[in-house]
């Protein structure tokens, strides 16, 4: 039995493709902080103090290995002048797109982080979580990739059409988004984030054919990640990754958040020794799990991907749904400790 490590030691060891004391567990909870504080979701995200306290309580309760500084994806659209729609039992979503005509893109310029009150609140939360972490727990910041952000800026259908109809305008939008993404990521790192999660669901072959990704999102990721002054993990938000595994490994990212739709052992083999794997518990099914089902899912994921290190147990989407109960989260946490201690139990469950 290895001596107990701090969370950050555990994560760094596994991302070095070595076996730590146990498999790291990331419970990527954002909305659940509101439940901990007894607040409506909208009210919870009004104050960085709420997010810091919510994350601290969640980590103390479940003992997982990170603080999640993520508020919600649409907060980036607020920086661009967009609106957010809030719900009582789910994540806030972006309102109407901010661009309706391709000609408008020529007049866009990247928002400055320092000039956006809502982004400054996220930075306050990052700094507060850094203080709570005391160098022992990773603080995860989040950005939406320049390639995926146009889904909110333009709307999905318009974005896909304009890549064919007005490619020059889309190229300009990607460049503008890159400047914003780099500044936003580095601001979070400067505030105290340990690493940045680069959300890039459009990169997944679930949405974009690999040959199109190679010509677009892949080169954008290479340019963008090279300018982020800290480690990054790329998350495809439930999307598949195997068809572009070699491309993802060349972007400079340290880890990939992977889908429940693919075999975890096959994914681990595809990235082994090059990029860490984060995943792949099914967040939708999780809302219906019994404690026994949660334990079985955790045990199976660990058996498939944890040997040799390089694996962080987490959900497959990067955000655990509001509908997942505290009992299920506790069952996941307990199972991760039971089955994730190195040396790992045999695959036959002994």
Structure tokens at 209: 């054919």
pLDDT, residue 290, reads 97
- How much is the mean pLDDT over the chain? 96
pLDDT digits (tens, 9 = 90+) for 143-152: 999 999 999 9
What is the distance between the alpha carbons of residues 303 and 281, in angstroms, rounded to a whole number?
Answer: 13
Structure tokens at 143: 């950005």
pLDDT, residue 345, reads 85
Percent pLDDT > 70 in the chain is 98
Q: Domains in the chain, start-ordered, CATH in brackets?
A: 7-339 (3.20.20.210)
What is the distance between the alpha carbons of residues 46 and 39, in angstroms, rounded to a whole number?
Answer: 11
Q: Residue 129 half-sphere exposure, CB side, CA atoms within 13 Å?
A: 36
pLDDT digits (tens, 9 = 90+) for 189-220: 999 999 999 999 999 999 999 999 999 999 99
Residue 315 has pLDDT above 60, yes or no: yes
Residue 4 has pLDDT above 90, yes or no: no
pLDDT, residue 2, reads 63
Stretch 248-256: mean pLDDT, rounded?
Answer: 98
Contact indicator for 25, 333 with CB cutoff of 8 Å = yes
pLDDT, residue 348, reads 41
pLDDT digits (tens, 9 = 90+) for 231-247: 999 999 999 999 999 99
Which pLDDT band, with edges at 50, 70 and 90, does 1 fall under? low
Which pLDDT band, with edges at 50, 70 and 90, does 258 fall under? very high
pLDDT, residue 277, reads 98
43-48, long-range: CB < 8 A, 24+ apart: 45/71, 45/72, 45/75, 45/92, 47/121, 48/121, 48/122, 48/124, 48/125, 48/128
Residues 6+ apart with CB under 8 A from 255: 15, 233, 234, 275, 276, 277, 278, 312
pLDDT, residue 350, reads 45
Which pLDDT band, with edges at 50, 70 and 90, does 156 fall under? very high
pLDDT digits (tens, 9 = 90+) for 16-72: 999 999 999 999 999 999 999 999 999 999 999 999 999 999 999 999 999 999 999
pLDDT, residue 234, reads 98
Residue 3 has pLDDT above 80, yes or no: no
Structure tokens at 156: 């999905």
pLDDT, residue 349, reads 42
Comparing 31-35, 264-268, 345-349, which segment has the lowest mean pLDDT?
A: 345-349
**Residue showing tokens 């026994």:** 292
> φ and ψ at 222, to 5 degrees?
-60, -45
Stretch 328-349: mean pLDDT, rounded?
Answer: 88
């Amino acid at each position: 039995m290895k001596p107990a490590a701090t969370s950050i030691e555990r994560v760094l060891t596994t991302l070095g493709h070595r076996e730590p004391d146990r498999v790291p567990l990331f419970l990527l909870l954002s909305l659940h902080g509101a439940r901990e504080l007894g607040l409506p979701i909208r009210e919870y995200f009004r104050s960085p103090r709420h997010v810091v306290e919510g994350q601290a309580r969640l980590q103390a309760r479940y003992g997982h290995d990170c603080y999640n500084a993520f508020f919600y994806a649409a907060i980036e659209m607020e920086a661009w002048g967009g609106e957010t729609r809030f719900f009582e039992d789910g994540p806030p979503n972006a309102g109407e797109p901010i661009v309706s005509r391709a000609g408008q893109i020529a007049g866009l310029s990247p928002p400055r982080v320092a000039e956006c009150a809502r982004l400054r609140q996220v930075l306050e939360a990052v700094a507060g979580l850094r203080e709570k972490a005391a160098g022992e727990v990773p603080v995860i910041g989040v950005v939406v990739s320049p390639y995926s952000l146009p889904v909110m800026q333009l709307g999905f259908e318009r974005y896909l059409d304009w890549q064919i109809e007005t490619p020059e305008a889309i190229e300009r939008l990607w460049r503008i988004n890159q400047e914003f993404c780099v500044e936003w990521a580095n601001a979070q790192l400067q505030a105290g984030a340990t690493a940045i999660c680069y959300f890039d669901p459009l990169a997944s072959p679930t949405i974009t054919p690999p040959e199109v990704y190679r010509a677009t999102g892949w080169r954008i990721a290479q340019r963008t990640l090279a300018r982020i002054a800290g480690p990054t993990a790329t998350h495809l938000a439930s999307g598949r990754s195997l068809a572009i595994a070699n491309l993802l490994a060349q972007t400079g990212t340290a880890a990939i958040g992977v889908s429940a739709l693919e075999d975890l052992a096959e994914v681990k083999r595809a990235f082994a020794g090059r990029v860490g794997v984060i995943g792949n518990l099914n967040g939708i099914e999780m809302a219906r799990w019994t404690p026994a089902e949660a334990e079985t899912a955790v045990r199976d994921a660990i058996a498939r991907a944890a040997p040799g290190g390089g694996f962080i147990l987490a959900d497959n989407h990067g955000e655990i749904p509001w509908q997942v109960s505290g009992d299920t989260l506790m069952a996941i946490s307990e199972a991760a400790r039971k089955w994730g201690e190195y040396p790992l139990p045999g695959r036959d469950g002994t």
